Structure formats: structure tokens, C-alpha cells
Amino acid sequence: MSNWKIPKVSPSEITPQEVYHSRREFMRLGAGVVVGSTLPSSLLAGEKLPNLVKSNYELTDKLTPLADITHYNNYYEFGTDKESPAKTAGSLKTRPWTVAVEGEVHKPKLWDIDSLLKLAPLEERVYRLRCVEAWSMVIPWVGFPLAELIKRAEPTGNAKFVEFITLNDPEQMPGVRSPVLDWPYREGLRLDEAMQPLTLLAVGLYGEVLPNQNGAPIRLVVPWKYGFKSAKSIVRIRFVEQMPQTSWMKAGPSEYGFYSNVNPEVDHPRWSQAKERRIGDFFKRQTLPFNGYAAQVAQLYTGMDLQKFF
């Protein structure tokens, strides 16, 4: 079992949310026309996202506090320990930002991030996040189904998989100066997995614009798979015929398979996956097959040996 810890913060060090937003608004107005004309306040990290649609995807689980979600992160582009991304991701510039949709599609397109935000109603969905390191969170994501983008791209009959490629910029991302992974970060899904209604392109959490350390401005969320499948800061989405080799498959093929479904019966070579520790809890809990989403997704894997296709 890997060690984990949440940094202890004194209550006196925590800025109240209402003060935080007032301070941001003062800074925005004080910056004058230059900032105001190029970056509307609704697109600043920490600002509320307007016109959210309440989703049917709700859980009774207690939500993980925002402070924990934003200060305990796996984002190797900004450091390999959990606390580094919150400290170093401020260098990431999320405007302007484009996402190229390409490959085996009838309608390739270079999408501006603000156009993507208007592609479909933004829903607030509460999903479990299960990390391969045996810790978990419950996060109220804001986003829209990846299927909405796929429908507009119109995949050809040759499209069997979807590959996600993330930003690779050493100037903004200090972690990519290290060869810990073969950059840029790449992930992939089977096309039917990508079309599954649970699969989300997230642009926010807790009703606010996605913080940099959580994958701004747009990231993938696939709740029945381990968290590393959820590529952050996406710049390219490619439709391909052959299964793409993902970053973690390339780095450790005996530890990280393409499917990466949460399966308590398949241990990681270095620790058990049978139990997990929810961030903020003392006791461990049983890990659920498909992270608790078996009713929605198990049929995608009918007839597959999930010990082999891990």
C-alpha cells in the first residue's frame, strides 16, 4: 500500500469562499480592459459556471471537500507527489485553448474551448473517483457527455478506438522536463466506452471552473475506470482503428492494462485492490466492481476475461 497524506492546513490559513471570490473580482476589475476584454470572469478558475443542469447521476456518498480535491492530485506534468500540482500548476495558461478532433471522422474540427463549453448543456454529476493507489474521492464534476462531441465528429466505420493526447509544454509544465513518462501523456478508450453516457468531458467541479491542478481547461472522466484513465488538459482527440498504446501501458505493461477497469479481484503487482481508503476516512472500505457502476457498464465487457484484459 502506498503512503498518502493530506497536508494539514490551519483554519486561520483558509480564505473563506466569499472573500476569495470578492478578491478575484477586485483583481479582475483592477486589471482594466486588458484582462476584462480577453478573459471573461466566468472563465476564471474558481468562478461559478452559469446555467448548470442538474444531472440524474447522483450519489448518496458524502462529497470529498474541495480543499482535498484540489490539493491531493496525481498530475505528473506538475510533479510526482500529490501536493506539487496545487503549488506549480498556476503556470498553466488555459486561454486561448483548442482541442483538435481528427483521424477516422467525417467531420474533423479544431474546437475552441469556449465553443466546446457551448456544445451541450453543462451538467453537475457526482462521481466516485478510484485511484489505482487504493484511495478514492467523491467529486461533483461539471461537464458534458463525450458522446455529444463524438456525434458531431461522425466517426467513420474504421473508428474503433478514441485516443486522447494532452498538452506537452515544458515551459508551462515543469514535470515534463523529467523522463518519468514518455510525453505527451496519452490515453485511450474503445469507441463504445467513449460513447457510454457516463463518460464525461469535465470543465469544472463543485459548480466552478476547473482548477489547473485538476486538469483545466478540459479533462476526461471515466468513473468505472481507475483515475489515471482520465486524461487532463486535452489538446487532441483522435479516432483510430487500432488500440492506441497509452502512457501507462508503455511505462509499465505488467501493471497498467488498456482497459483499467476497477476490478477488486485483480491486484496491482505491488498492492491489493480489494479495499480502498476514501480521502478523509480512517477505515478502509471494500472496493466495488467497476467502482460501483457495474449496472451501467458491465455489459460492455460480456465474454471478456477481465483477469487478462485488466
Q: Residue 155 pairs with which residues in a beta bridge?
A: 105
Q: Is 107 annotated as a binding residue?
A: no
Find the farthest-apart pair of alpha carbons in the chain and give their distance in angstroms, rounded: 61
Q: Is 272 annotated as a binding residue?
A: no
Q: Is 276 annotated as a binding residue?
A: no
Alpha-carbon separation of residue 71 from 16, 78, 103 (angstroms):
16, 12, 36
Q: Which amino acid, residue 237?
A: I
Give the three-state DSSP class for 82: coil
Alpha-carbon separation of residue 279 from 11, 128, 197, 262 (angstroms):
19, 11, 26, 17
Q: Which of 19, 73, 72, 64 is nearest to 46 (CA)?
A: 19
Q: Is 230 annotated as a binding residue?
A: yes
Q: Is 231 annotated as a binding residue?
A: yes
Structural contact between residues 216 and 208, judged by C-beta atoms closer than 8 angstroms: no
Q: Is 214 annotated as a binding residue?
A: yes
Burial class from Cβ neighbours inside 10 Å (0-12, 13-18, 19+) for residue 108 reads middle
Binding residue positions:
73, 76-77, 131, 166, 214, 219, 230-232
Binding residues for Mo-molybdopterin: 73, 76-77, 131, 166, 214, 219, 230-232
